[in-house]
Amino acid sequence: MGTRGMLVVHCSDQAAQQMYTTLASKVPEQNMTLRNRDKGAERRFGLSTCYTAKEKADGSPAAEFYCRVSISVGAPLLESF
């Protein structure tokens, strides 16, 4: 089978919005407070996570998305990065 590793892809804005929307009905959401005290939620699926900020610490609305997608891949693909 060979050597395997983990490729982590970060995405934001439109790509993350689409990922979050696709997962919305399939993966449970957990409310959380982000490091900067913004209120948000996360959806975890395997080693991957999508985050959304829903409300800024100052009370203003927010619509920020971020995803970290982890993919198990073989060594030849990892070596190409």
d(CA 30, CA 42): 5
d(CA 39, CA 1): 43
State the CB neighbour count (10 A cutoff) for residue 20: 20
**pLDDT of 78:** 59
Going by pLDDT thresholds of 50, 70 and 90, the confidence category of residue 81 is: low
Mean pLDDT of 59-71: 77
d(CA 52, CA 69): 14
What Cα–Cα distance (Å) separates residue 18 from each residue in 22, 24, 61, 74, 76?
Answer: 6, 10, 20, 27, 29
Mean pLDDT of 63-79: 71
**pLDDT of 1:** 46
pLDDT, tens digit, 9 for 90 and up, residues 2-61: 566 776 777 766 776 777 777 777 888 899 988 888 888 888 877 788 888 888 888 887
- The structural domains of the chain, with segments of one domain joined by +, span 4-79
Q: How much is the pTM?
A: 0.60
Residue 46 tokens read as 């395997």
**pLDDT of 30:** 92
